[in-house]
Structure 1
Amino acid sequence: MVLSLRLSEEETNLIKNYAKHKNTTVSQLIRDSVIQRIEDEYDLNAYKKAMAAHKKNPVTYSHQEVAKMLDLE
């Protein structure tokens, strides 16, 4: 797939220089950045969901308790 992106000359130079500094291509830099942004948003939403569930039922277990429950000791 080919995408088109409008950037100012200043933005273009910034991205090209950053990619060069990171020893990667502009395409790879943009691809990685977008994927990372999506993953970060997904992780944040999962965190918010887990915290809401924890507030409804604030039960926690220590590492030792979990190991005992799973017969890992």
Structure 2
Amino acid sequence: MCFSIRLLAEEKRIAESYAKMRSMSLEEAFKQALFERIEDEYDIAAAAEAYAEYERSGRKSRPISELWKELDL
């Protein structure tokens, strides 16, 4: 798939500078940034769901010091 985006001159300069700094093409820089953003948002959604599940379970957390005592550490 191929697509194009319009950038202001300053945006293009910043993007090209970033790509050059990372020794990659502008295409690679945009692709990497896009998929990193997708991964970050997926991780945030997964964490929120896991936390909601934890809250629904009624379990309670406890201080790590209690675990250390339990394990004689």
Q: TM-score range by the shorter chain?
A: 0.7 to 0.9
Structure 2 alignment gaps of length 5 or more: 62-73
Structure 1 alignment gaps of length 5 or more: 61-73
1:47 aligns with 2:9: no
Q: Aligned partners of 2:2 and 2:23: how far apart in 1? A: 22
Q: Aligned partners of 2:16 and 2:60: how far apart in 1? A: 49
Cα displacement string for residues 5-62 of structure 1 (whole angstroms, at most 9, x for unaligned residues): 01001110110011001111100010010011111111111000000010111267xx
Instruction: Give runs of aligned pairs for residues 50-61 of structure 1, distance below 5 A.
Output: 50-57=50-57, 58=59
Of structures 1 and 2, the one with the larger relative CO (CA 8 A, separation 6+) is 2
Q: Structure 1 runs of 4+ off > 4 angstroms?
A: none
Given the two structures, how large is their TM-score scaled by the length of structure 2? Answer: 0.76
Identical pairs, percent: 32
